[in-house]
Amino acid sequence: MNTPRQLDWPNWQLLQRIALSVGCAGLVLCAAGAIFEPQQFFHSYLSAFTSWAGIALGSLALWMIHNLTGGSWGLVLRRFLEAATRTLPLLVLAFLPVAFALPHIYSWADIHEHNPRAHYLNVPFFLARTGFYFAAWLMLAFFLNRWSAQQDRISDPRPALRMQALSGPGLAIYGLTMTFTAVDWIMSLDPSWSSTIFGALVATGQMLPALGLAIALATWFGTRPPLAEIATPDVWNDLGNLLLTFVMLWAYMMFSQLLIIWSGNLPEEISFYVIRSEGGWQWVGVMLAIFYFALPLVLLLSRDIKRKPERLRIVALAVVGMSFVHQFWMIAPVFSPRRFYLHWMDVTALAGLGGFWFSYFFWQLQARPLLPVHEPALEEAMSHA
């Protein structure tokens, strides 16, 4: 078997510079806006931060799923998922503005506001929990990436077995931490509202754009060696089916939450949908139903679209774009419950953080071969291709 090599792509530094330029421009504009509207800046920043953190964490979950299940689909996506998990240290730094501005974002953090859940929702405990979440995610990402690098250096099955052994408990840790993270970062924006399925909904909402971004990058780089050596139409078809599965899973959870809450008709539960069904926010919900579920569902049912990487890439990028709209719809109505409100900092904060994230991501991506060396399933995948 030929040794997998790095992509013959001379413009890594150009990609990093472009992303970094966008990031600097976006955050400079946000910093200028924060001088005049600090409250709006932190609201916009929270939506942007949770969007990019969700892609990194969703990539971690997908990588662990592949370690447990195997399959050629994961070999094509693996390096993109790995590089995304290595952006977690950057996201720790990106969380600092949120940590310093909790009273500007969360009503329970304001000492002048009545907080009936002060035993759980208080600043020291919130920061301690967030530190624990990041420590757990960083630990998983560190060991998985360490063993993946060892697998590239030596022909030994033990690194792959270690990744597989850690991924089972790792998925349990991910599920547990994401349940509490969803409550802390998003649900607690409205302390009076609660949903038992919200943690699973947020976790699914992270894996869907993470998968979409990885597929988009794989179809972009997959026309060149070394990915072209295993990226067959059957592999693209499998990835399209997987994306379709996560689209349907997200829609199922969204509908289940809506059905259960609306049928219960309890004031403390329906507030989430009440503020999102009036003042213009309802049209954002309609847009999500059409472009985040119905249209991808119809397109991904087509075998012709799934087997052609150029067409699959368009669908995957649309899913990623709509995930940002979904995250905005989850957060922004809390701050503007009576009317739809899109501020220019909502866009610049997303672009600014995204530029820095992509610059760091491309730096990590170029550091390793795009196909895992000494991967047991790689020789079989290449022979089939």
For residue range 296-332, list pLDDT tens digits in order.
Answer: 999 999 999 999 999 999 999 999 999 999 999 999 9
- Percent of the chain residues topping a pLDDT of 90: 74
pLDDT at 380: 62
Query: Which segment of 15-19, 115-119, 194-198, 214-218 scores lowest on mean pLDDT?
Result: 115-119
Long-range contacts of 301-304 (CB under 8 A, 24+ apart): 301/244, 303/237
The mean pLDDT value of the chain amounts to 91
Does 231 map to a domain?
Answer: yes
pLDDT in the model for residue 373: 79
What pLDDT score was predicted for residue 382? 61
Domain of 27, in residue numbers: 12-101+130-384
Residue 1 within a domain: no
Mean pLDDT across 174-189:
96
CA proximity to 167, closest of 65, 258, 41: 65
Residue at 4 is within a domain: no
Is the residue at 108 inside a domain?
Answer: no
- Residue 206, pLDDT > 80, answer yes
Residue 117 domain flag: no
Distances from the Cα of 229 to the Cαs of 290, 382, 383, in angstroms? 36, 6, 9
Residue range 220-247, pLDDT digits in tens? 988 777 787 788 899 999 999 999 999 9
Q: Which is higher by pLDDT, 380 or 134?
A: 134
Per the structure block, which two tokens stand in for 214?
């990885």
* 5 has a pLDDT exceeding 80: no
124: in domain: no
Q: DSSP assignment, residue 109?
A: G
Residue 3 has pLDDT above 50, yes or no: no
Looking at the structure of the chain, the number of domains it has is 1
Residue 147 falls inside a structural domain: yes
**52 within domain boundaries:** yes
CA dist 51 and 369 (Å) reads 27
Report the distance separating Cα 379 and Cα 290, nearest Å. 41
Measured distance CA(40)–CA(96) in Å, rounded: 17
CA distances from 109 to 103, 105, 132, 159, 207 (A): 5, 8, 19, 44, 30
pLDDT in tens, 81-114: 999 999 999 999 999 999 999 999 999 998 767 7
